[in-house]
Amino acid sequence: KTGTPPRLVAQSINWGKTNITLGDEKPTPFSYRTKEFNPPNVPCYTTQTNAACHNYIKKDLLLSPMFSGDVSGVGPRYCPSIEDKVHRFPNRDSHMLFLEPEWAGSNQIYTNGFSTSLPEKTQLGALRCLRGL
């Protein structure tokens, strides 16, 4: 019922057209036993979907297993796929996406907010509509 977000190659992104988002300056550790916690602040970046991206997704909506009937049931409530967001929230002009490195120093970028089961061609076309991509 859930897809996975496409991964991007960092060098293919125009970072100047995205917005930098830093983590907490002084993050709180999960455990009270942690005495010292000062991880590196690895930035991520944001961009947003737009009408062109939404239209690209809408035209291929039936290629998604959730919409074609190949998969039945209700998808996740708190992290719906991009095709589900476009379908369920037609009045939204955009949806926020976070471009996050998979690990420190990685050139593999996780596209948080763009989980999908759409075919690769549709994913690529929709992503190419986005600022910075």
Could you give all domains of the chain from N- to C-terminal order, each with its CATH number? Answer: 7-24+38-127 (2.40.30.260)
pLDDT digits (tens), the chain, 133 positions: 557 899 999 999 999 999 999 988 888 889 989 988 888 888 899 999 999 999 999 999 888 877 766 666 665 666 789 999 999 999 999 999 999 999 888 999 999 999 999 999 999 999 999 999 9
Rounded to two decimals, what is the model's pTM?
0.85
Handedness of CA 129, 10, 16, 27 (dihedral sign): positive
Amino acid found at 113: G
Task: Catalogue the long-range contacts made by 54-61 (C-beta closer than 8 Å, 24 or more residues apart).
Answer: 54/86, 56/122, 56/125, 56/126, 56/129, 57/82, 57/83, 57/86, 57/118, 57/122, 57/126, 58/86, 58/87, 60/118, 60/119, 60/122, 61/86, 61/87
